[in-house]
């Protein structure tokens, strides 16, 4: 019965979209192969990692086999580069088809995953403009970071294990963006969470790293709970879980409380994965992992999955303007909050981590105000320059680590106070990092300027008049909320320019504070590490051309806007209306944005060019600076409010109540039961023949009675 039903369903979906121009083309096969390639890499590298461990155990040391490492070097980045090539082929195929013909996504049917009653979940994949964009970012940036890792992880005994995890991550990420239904997306969602956990705790012999991985996993569970509830609600409301079907049904239910609830729960999931208030606390700790991991997972791809989710479910969010306003508000709050913390961090990776949280907030401002293109645009450009910043930081840490290793000093290789003047030793990294800093600060014509400006301009345009401005959040009119969000966006832009310039100055300019002996050992990273950095620098330079504003005659206008139009265009219009401001206003807005960036950098120049002490001689920070350096003590607060009461509850109720109770019931209870049974039966059978006789007689009488009376 079931087996008959499933193919029939398939055919139904296939028939409904038979008209798609890419049906039967090579793109269908390539989409199927895309996630499988990194899985292949995972299997090969995983086997090699297991072999290496066995060999190390046998030899009693962690010696690494060069022959095996060579294979890892080939396979690890190789599968991702191959996937990138395939993604390019698919992209050009899509380019070759008329834009109107691509209005519906290409559905690639897959075998059934689970069939329960009328709930049929299959492994269908979906290719549209949004997913191919994400695939290109994931595999493209992924390739560069894999190449960087070849150099960065060179001397690590867990070389093969590292690439196995990283390949697996890319596989799950591709499942996340290519899945044609919420459950398949959720599978990738959970998978990338798993890989994130494994890679944060990659150096698991250090307890702090393991704790950080665990924290990331647990905090993400809170978000996953939201995602799951949203899926249940979608199923309950529409009896469908695939994007096409469910969104069509939900689109016609726009404005109902069900859609609002779905949007809010989806956003809870997005906030967990994309580190938004209040679930951002895991991301700064996630910096415990290797730096390329921070670049790929915790800056460029995985943490943007929440933004992707909101853009993917744009039909849901545009059907619930209140939820969209909340998304924008939370994004703005997160952007400002994280930016203030980043002002006073000394760990170079912590600065970048809080900066990532802040920029993710920007993306949510974009997708929350219905400016889906702007949000996704910032996602892409941020992937370029933040991956660059992290890889640059990785190369700095690599150099300092090697220097301290040579002189046998145990200093912090990630602390800004131990850096300074590094541009003399690593000019290529310094140049690329400077470019990325200018980009994130919003200096034209770098990628970050265009994307950030587009978000701010869209918010302003929608505040002036749009369906979103007519909605209200907790009784506050939407336009007020939007103006407020715009203001916070500007303040955040100022802070971003300040703290990024501070990081740049402390790292690369001024006097070197690493140490006399160490200065001899400081050097530029090998070519395999600098090459990806330079490619990313190029992308940072030209990334803005993806989506130029109409105002500036620099090239083709709004390419990304047109590209994403079939996916998010309708939803964007539903929330934002026409969403245009006059050219004069736009000029003013751009002027303000540039002025703020320049002012911010000026403030940083004024404040952070004076010499400071290295970490060993630094004075503890006091007052508000100390509060910021402590990240507002949020971790301690969460510990006191959530973790410790939870632990106390678990200890008193679950451990001492339920757990010990069950233990007692079974151990003591079981013992008592068998002892009692033994006692009774030994009384019955004590060798007193007279008693046996009585029992036989009683039994006979009972049987007679049963036979005659029954």
By the criterion CB under 8 A, which residues form the site for another protein? 682, 685-690, 693-694, 697
Structure tokens at 19: 């008209």
Query: Distance between CA 139 and CA 83 in Å, rounded?
Result: 6
* Minimum distance of another protein from residue 694's CB (angstroms): 6
* Minimum distance of another protein from residue 654's CB (angstroms): 41
Return the number of the residue (654 or 693) whose C-beta is nearest another protein: 693
Return the number of the residue (584 or 686) whose C-beta is nearest another protein: 686
What is the sign, positive or negative, of the torsion defined by CA atoms of 381, 383, 384, 385?
A: positive
* Minimum distance of another protein from residue 119's CB (angstroms): 60
Alpha helix (H) residue ranges in 526-582: 527-542, 559-576
Query: Distance between CA 63 and CA 52 in Å, rounded?
Result: 9
* Minimum distance of another protein from residue 667's CB (angstroms): 24
* Minimum distance of another protein from residue 205's CB (angstroms): 57
* Minimum distance of another protein from residue 676's CB (angstroms): 14
Return the number of the residue (651 or 688) whose C-beta is nearest another protein: 688
* Minimum distance of another protein from residue 649's CB (angstroms): 47
Return the number of the residue (99 or 697) whose C-beta is nearest another protein: 697
Query: Distance between CA 87 and CA 27 in Å, rounded?
Result: 9
Rg of the chain on CA atoms, in Å: 30
What is the sign, positive or negative, of the torsion defined by CA atoms of 207, 275, 192, 536?
A: negative
* Minimum distance of another protein from residue 220's CB (angstroms): 60
Return the number of the residue (538 or 696) whose C-beta is nearest another protein: 696
* Minimum distance of another protein from residue 682's CB (angstroms): 4
Query: Distance between CA 46 and CA 51 in Å, rounded?
Result: 9
* Minimum distance of another protein from residue 693's CB (angstroms): 5
Q: Which residue has the tokens 């689109």?
A: 251
User: Exposed e or buried b for every residue in 347-358, given b needs 16+ CB within 10 A?
Assistant: bbbbbbbbbbbb
Return the number of the residue (624 or 692) whose C-beta is nearest another protein: 692
* Minimum distance of another protein from residue 709's CB (angstroms): 19
Query: Distance between CA 516 and CA 557 in Å, rounded?
Result: 52
Q: For the chain, what is the total number of helices (H) and then of strands (E)?
A: 29, 6
3-state secondary structure 246-288: HHHHHHCCCCCHHHHHHHHHHHHHHHHHCCCCCCCCHHHHHHH
Return the number of the residue (205 or 708) whose C-beta is nearest another protein: 708
Phi first, then psi: give them for residue 197, nearest 5 degrees. -60, -45
Return the number of the residue (623 or 687) whose C-beta is nearest another protein: 687
Return the number of the residue (689 or 706) whose C-beta is nearest another protein: 689
* CB contact at 8 A, 76 and 167: yes
Of 146, 151, 614, 626, nearest to 413 by C-alpha is 614
Return the number of the residue (653 or 697) whose C-beta is nearest another protein: 697
How many C-beta atoms surround the C-beta of residue 639 within 10 A?
Answer: 14
Query: Distance between CA 601 and CA 437 in Å, rounded?
Result: 10
Q: Which residue has the tokens 């909605």?
A: 471
* Minimum distance of another protein from residue 679's CB (angstroms): 9
Return the number of the residue (60 or 687) whose C-beta is nearest another protein: 687
Of 525, 527, 531, nearest to 144 by C-alpha is 531
Query: Distance between CA 143 and CA 80 in Å, rounded?
Result: 5
* Minimum distance of another protein from residue 668's CB (angstroms): 22
Return the number of the residue (583 or 683) whose C-beta is nearest another protein: 683
Residue 508 DSSP SS3: helix
Structure tokens at 162: 């590292």
Of 543, 538, 581, 316, nearest to 428 by C-alpha is 538
Query: Distance between CA 46 and CA 167 in Å, rounded?
Result: 10
**CA distance to 114, 132, 319, 360, 623, per residue, from 315 (Å):** 26, 19, 6, 21, 46
* Minimum distance of another protein from residue 224's CB (angstroms): 58
* CB contact at 8 A, 440 and 388: no
User: Exposed e or buried b for every residue in 99-113, given b needs 16+ CB within 10 A?
Assistant: eeebeebbbbbeebe
Return the number of the residue (117 or 690) whose C-beta is nearest another protein: 690
Return the number of the residue (613 or 696) whose C-beta is nearest another protein: 696
Structure tokens at 434: 């400077």
Return the number of the residue (26 or 697) whose C-beta is nearest another protein: 697
Return the number of the residue (632 or 694) whose C-beta is nearest another protein: 694
Query: Distance between CA 539 and CA 561 in Å, rounded?
Result: 19
* Minimum distance of another protein from residue 691's CB (angstroms): 10
Query: Distance between CA 543 and CA 332 in Å, rounded?
Result: 24
* Minimum distance of another protein from residue 703's CB (angstroms): 15
The gap from C-alpha 163 to its chain's centroid, in whole angstroms, comes to: 19
Query: Distance between CA 467 and CA 94 in Å, rounded?
Result: 33
How many C-beta atoms surround the C-beta of residue 590 within 10 A?
Answer: 19
């Amino acid at each position: 019965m079931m087996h008959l039903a499933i193919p029939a369903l398939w055919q139904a979906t296939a028939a409904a979209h038979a008209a798609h121009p890419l049906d039967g083309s090579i793109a269908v096969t390539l989409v199927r192969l895309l996630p499988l390639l990194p899985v292949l890499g995972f299997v090969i590298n995983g086997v090699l990692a297991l072999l290496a461990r066995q060999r190390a155990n046998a030899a009693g040391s962690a010696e690494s086999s060069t022959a095996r490492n060579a294979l890892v070097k080939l396979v690890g980045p190789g599968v991702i580069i191959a996937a990138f090539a395939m993604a390019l082929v698919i992209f050009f195929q899509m380019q070759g088809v008329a834009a109107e013909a691509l209005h519906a996504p290409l559905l690639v049917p897959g075998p059934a995953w689970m069939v329960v009653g009328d709930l049929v979940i299959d492994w269908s994949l979906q290719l549209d403009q949004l997913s191919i964009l994400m695939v290109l970012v994931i595999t493209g940036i992924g390739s560069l970071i894999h190449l960087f890792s070849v150099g960065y992880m060179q001397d690590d005994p867990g070389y093969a294990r590292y690439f196995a995890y990283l390949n697996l991550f890319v596989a799950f990420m591709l499942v996340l963006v290519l899945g044609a239904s919420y459950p398949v997306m959720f599978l990738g969602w959970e998978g990338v969470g798993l890989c994130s956990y494994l890679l944060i705790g990659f150096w698991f012999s250090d307890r702090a790293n393991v704790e950080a991985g665990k924290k990331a996993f647990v905090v993400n569970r809170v978000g996953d709970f939201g995602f799951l509830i949203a899926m249940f609600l979608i199923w309950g409301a529409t009896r469908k879980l695939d994007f096409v079907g469910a969104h069509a049904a939900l689109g016609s239910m726009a404005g109902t409380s069900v859609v609002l609830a779905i949007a809010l729960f989806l956003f809870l999931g997005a906030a967990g994965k994309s580190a938004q208030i209040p679930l951002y606390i895991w991301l700064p700790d996630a910096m415990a992992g290797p730096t390329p991991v921070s670049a790929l997972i915790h800056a460029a791809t995985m943490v943007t999955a929440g933004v992707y989710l909101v853009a993917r479910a744009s039909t849901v969010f545009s059907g619930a303007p209140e939820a969209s306003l909340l998304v924008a508000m939370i994004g703005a709050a997160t952007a400002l909050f994280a930016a203030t913390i980043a002002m006073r961090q000394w760990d170079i990776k912590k600065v970048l981590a809080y900066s990532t949280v802040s920029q993710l907030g920007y993306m949510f401002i974009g997708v929350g105000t219905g400016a889906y293109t702007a949000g996704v645009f910032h996602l892409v450009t941020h992937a370029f320059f933040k991956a660059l910043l992290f890889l640059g930081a990785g190369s700095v840490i690599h150099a300092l680590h090697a220097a301290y290793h040579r002189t046998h000093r145990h200093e912090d290789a990630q602390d800004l106070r131990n850096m300074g003047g590094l541009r003399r030793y690593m000019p290529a990294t310094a140049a690329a990092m400077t470019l990325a800093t200018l980009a994130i600060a919003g200096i034209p014509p770098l990628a970050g300027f265009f994307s950030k400006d587009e978000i701010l301009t869209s918010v302003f345009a929608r505040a002036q008049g749009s369906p979103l401005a007519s909605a209200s959040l907790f009784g506050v009119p939407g336009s007020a909320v939007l103006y407020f969000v715009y203001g916070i966006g500007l303040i955040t832009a100022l802070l971003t320019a300040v703290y990024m310039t501070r990081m740049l100055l402390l790292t690369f300019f001024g006097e070197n504070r690493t140490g006399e002996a160490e200065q001899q050992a400081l050097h530029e990273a090998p070519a395999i590490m600098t090459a990806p950095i330079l490619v990313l620098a190029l992308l940072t330079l030209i990334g803005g051309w993806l989506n130029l504003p109409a105002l500036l005659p620099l090239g083709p206008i709004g390419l990304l806007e047109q590209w994403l139009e079939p996916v998010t265009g309708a939803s964007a219009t539903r929330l934002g209306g026409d969403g245009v401001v006059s050219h004069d206003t736009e000029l003013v807005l751009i002027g303000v944005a540039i002025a703020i960036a320049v002012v911010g950098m000026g403030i940083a120049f004024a404040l952070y060019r004076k010499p400071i002490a290295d970490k060993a001689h630094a004075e503890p920070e006091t007052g508000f600076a100390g509060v910021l350096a402590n990240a507002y003590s949020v971790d301690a607060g969460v510990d006191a409010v959530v973790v410790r009461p939870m632990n106390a509850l678990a200890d008193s109720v679950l451990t001492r109540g339920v757990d010990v109770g069950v233990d007692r019931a079974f151990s003591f209870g079981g013992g008592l039961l068998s002892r009692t049974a033994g006692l009774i039966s030994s009384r019955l059978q004590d060798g007193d023949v007279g008693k046996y006789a009585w029992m036989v007689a009683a039994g006979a009488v009972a049987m007679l009675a049963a036979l005659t009376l029954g």
